[in-house]
Every structure is written in C-alpha cells, then in structure tokens.
Amino acid sequence: MKYLLTHAIEETADRLTEQTAFRFEKDSISYGEFALNVRRLANFLVEQGVAKGDRVGIFRRKGIPSALAVYGIMAAGAAYVPLDPMMPLERLRAIVEDCGIRDLVSENSQVKTLSDLVQDTPLRTLVGLEGESAASLDGASWSQVIDSPDHMPKVCVMEQDLAYIMYTSGSTGQPKGLAHTHYSGLSYATMAAETYGVTNTDKIANHSSLHFDMSTFDYFSGPLGGATTIIISEQCTKFPANMSRLIEDEGITIWYSVPWALIQLLQFGALEKRNLGSLRWVMFGGEPFPSKHLRDLMQALPGARFSNVYGPAEVNQCTYYHLTEPPAIDDDVPIGKIWANADGMVVDERDQLTPSGEVGELLVRTPTMMRGYWARPDLNQKVFHRSLGPGGLEQIYLRTGDLVREDSNGSYVFVGRKDRQVKIRGYRVELDEIEAALCSLEGVMEAAVVSVFDGQATNHVKAAVTLKPGVYLEQADMLAHAKQKIPSYAIPEQIAVVKDFPRTTSGKIDRRELRTIL
C-alpha cells in the first residue's frame, strides 16, 4: 500500500530492480541501486540528528544526487526544500532562516556561497562536499553516506506529514514557502501518472529545475509508473539543438515544460534534422502558449499528443486540456476542465458563483493541495476559502488568483491574474517584489514595475524609478543592486529614471499609463 512518496521508490525497486530510474548525461542508476542509496542517505541524516518534521535544503545543480536527496530526505522523515543554486546570497539566507533549515545537501561548486552563508547562519550538516571543500566546511562526502546502514530508518511518518516545501516570490519582497504533504504529493503523482499513462516503457525528460514545481511530475510520477527520468542539465537547456538531439538519442517519450522552452525548440532546435518519433506526449503549462507557435510545433511533431496543463504550485495540477488538432491562429487554448478527484468553481468578487461564460476567479478543492504557506497564517487566512458542505462539514478551496471563463464546451479559458503576479518563462514573479528591491537602493525615492506581453511567448518586465534630489544613478548600478535581491529571471529588462509618475485621481501611480510610456 502506498501512502508515502517514498513507497513508490521501494515498490518499483522490488518490481523493476534493474530498470534505470534516473539518467544524467553519462551517469545512470537502477531502481534497485537508487532505493539502496536512498535508505543510506536517510540513515546518515538521522544519525546527524535530522528528525521527523525537520526541513533539509537541497542546494546544488541538477543531477542524480539531487534525486537521491529528494527521496533520502523524505525517507528520514524530513521535508526537502529545493533551493535555486543561482539565487543571491541574501535570498538564500532569508529562506534558510525562514524555514529553519539546519542541514543541506550541496556540492563543491557552491562552497563560496556556503562559506558566506555559515558565517551568520549555523548549519548542522553539509552533505555532498568532497576533498578540501568538505574539510573547510566540516562537510560529509557521498562516500560517508554510502557507508551508512542500508535498511529503512525507523521513523514514524504518515501521509499528512510534510514532504517538501517550495519557495516562491512574495508580494512584500519576501519569499513564501508552499508546504506540501506526502498526501498531496502522492495524490498528484498518482493522478498525473494515470492521466498521461506513465509506464516503465516511458522515458521522461526532466527539463525543469528542482525548485520549480513542474519537476514534481518528473521526480514523483516517473518513479510511480516505473519510468526512466532523463535529467537535462542546465547547460543543455540553453541550446535547443542539443535538447532535440537528446530527445532523439534518449528516445524521450514524455516532455513537460513551459511553452518558452518548446518555442525555443521549435525555432532553434533543428527539428528538420531530427527523428523525434519517440515523443508520444508533450505537456506544457505555467503560462499561455501562443496558438501560432503551438500550431507550428504540433505540425512539426504529428505523432505526439499535446496537452495544456494548468495548476498553481499550491495544488500541483488541477486541469488539463488535450488538444485533438492544432489550434487556429489566435485561438485561445483552454486550460481544460477540473480533473477527476477534484472540484472547482468560478466566483465573483463577493464569492458568488458566476454564470457560465462570465469571468471570475477559479477556486479549487483537491487532494493535491498544499497544507498551507510555511509560517504564514496571514496568507493562509487569505488564500483558503472555507464553506460548509452537507451536514455542516467544512469544505476548503484554494483561491488560485487566476481569472477564467467557461467556454461553450465547459472548459475553462485563462483570462489573467487577479493580482500583479506574472509568469516569466514559467517562473512566478511578483512585480511588487521587484519594486521593493529597487526601493531598497539608497537614493531611490519610488519605483514602479510593469510587465508587457510581447505577443509571442514572454512577459517583459520594465521598471521606472524616481530619485531623491541631487542623486544620480546609472542603470547598471540599479541592475547590480537588483541582482543581489531577486532571482535572475525577475531582473527588469530596463530601468528608466523619470521625474515623476503618471498618477490616478487618488494619487496612486497609474501603472497602466506607465506601461505605454516605457
């Protein structure tokens, strides 16, 4: 019986011991060996003092050790917290402190950042460092982990316990952690594996980074179905022609990414030179896919089935739309209907149900939903809609913040965000967070940030600031400051210095008007 995410690894290892579980470049590991090393890592962490409910960070680049860390941490009874290896030190420190992380799985390439981190933030365990790097930071190597016992540690974990916490941008400039349980994670893995028919004959491309919620399909649904997950390096994702070659060489059968990656593959992936007939399912989500590009891609890959996948990271996924044919140019591609074992409703600003066809906010009730935001009761109070069901029993819905309308076929069509949150290449970005970062720079009086959709595939972030009298700042100085505060994908493309902002009659900055100026 599977009620923990780690059970999928154990059961698949018993059933498909020699099957390749994960492959990264020239390295691969079987399910049997993977399960063995998961147990060893779990025991090592327990020996270091990691206890049930602890949060353990994963601060390293993609690779097989990352996958081992995911399951080893959960097998120890802790929750894994994926950390972007490219994030600024200040943001890393904020997450580590907010989540109470005392243990990290990392690698030698992160030693400089780790050395700066431990000066102010005490850590108990650093796993994955080798040689002089391990000695300088009192870290533990993988060889030490391998010497640990290979039985499953005796830790009482139930399905309602935390499995992982993913951090995303917050509207105040502070990251917020989405706390998922084994129940929500396994519910999603099961639903996704059944919806897309994942089996041991599949090879799944892991394009997304570990700190991006799309990766949970690759890391959870893949092992649940006994598939082989091909981890694509960050370097490879930068070169579409290399990605198409990898799809061909590996015989990838399932692809899941943001539309931007697929558009790059279409335009620069040399598809005419490749045989990508192995692809049976292409899934995309995280942002709208311009229909003209989607149409061209579907025509270039006629043997693959395409699905628009939707769901905030708070619920993993809750709808899908299987395309039966390429869309007409400029057609809206629906996000689909609420999938089985979930429920949804569209409400107006008074939380009243909207008539079919009218725009409203989508609310979702699903077992794949997070437990809540980590240490943020204020946000939890806002994001969850509670109502009484039959017998007076409480029903809890998530407010997605997304505006949708129902089309004539009963599918939802995404209209936009209710707040000022935007997607940049699949990453969720809060415009207010960027403003807070710019305003923290000495000499800046006010900052305003807007997003402009280019009609192709991407939102472009642009900013404007007003300066204190007598202050002069170069754009390069402001960009350098922003890079210390926010992730690279959230950096504005331009920062203009203006004398004053256009304003509404209430005195607020008129960002709609500002968008036409920048």
pLDDT at 454: 67
In 281-335, DSSP assigns E strands to 281-285, 305-310, 319-323
Amino acid at 206: N
Cα–Cα distance, 42 to 35 (Å, whole number): 11
- Residue pair 38/62 in contact by the 8 Å Cβ criterion: no
Cα–Cα distance, 357 to 412 (Å, whole number): 9
pLDDT at 505: 45
- Residue pair 82/216 in contact by the 8 Å Cβ criterion: no
- Residue pair 405/371 in contact by the 8 Å Cβ criterion: no
Amino acid at 500: D
Torsion sign across C-alpha atoms 364, 369, 371, 373: negative
pLDDT at 171: 45
Burial (CB count <10 Å: 0-12, 13-18, 19+), residue 449: buried
pLDDT at 506: 44
DSSP string, 427-440: EEEEHHHHHHHHHT
Cα–Cα distance, 105 to 126 (Å, whole number): 6
Other residues' Cβ atoms within 10 Å of the Cβ of residue 55: 24
State pTM to two decimals: 0.86
Per-residue pLDDT of the chain (518 residues; tens, 9 = 90+): 899 999 999 999 999 999 999 999 999 999 999 999 999 999 999 999 999 999 999 999 999 999 999 999 999 999 999 999 988 899 999 999 999 999 999 999 999 999 999 998 889 999 999 998 888 898 999 999 999 999 999 999 999 999 999 998 654 457 899 999 999 999 999 999 999 999 999 999 999 999 999 999 999 999 999 999 999 999 999 899 999 999 999 999 999 998 888 988 998 999 999 999 999 999 999 888 888 889 999 999 999 999 999 999 999 999 999 999 999 876 889 999 999 999 999 999 899 999 999 989 999 999 999 999 999 999 999 999 999 889 999 999 999 999 899 999 999 999 877 877 777 777 878 787 788 888 888 888 788 899 887 666 667 899 999 888 888 999 999 999 999 988 888 899 999 999 888 876 444 678 878 988 88
Cα–Cα distance, 363 to 354 (Å, whole number): 12
pLDDT at 105: 98
Amino acid at 510: D
pLDDT at 293: 84
Cα–Cα distance, 8 to 1 (Å, whole number): 9
Cα–Cα distance, 459 to 233 (Å, whole number): 25
Cα–Cα distance, 77 to 182 (Å, whole number): 10
Other residues' Cβ atoms within 10 Å of the Cβ of residue 18: 9
Looking at the DSSP assignment, which residues form a beta bridge with residue 345?
A: 363
Cα–Cα distance, 184 to 262 (Å, whole number): 28
Torsion sign across C-alpha atoms 257, 258, 259, 262: negative
- CA 57 to mean position of chain CA atoms: 15
DSSP 221: I
Q: For 257, what's the count of Cα atoms within 13 Å in the CB-facing half-sphere?
A: 20
- Residue pair 495/479 in contact by the 8 Å Cβ criterion: yes
3-state helix, strand, coil in the chain (%, to 5): 35, 25, 40
Domains of the chain: 5-17+25-181 (3.40.50.980), 423-517 (3.30.300.30)
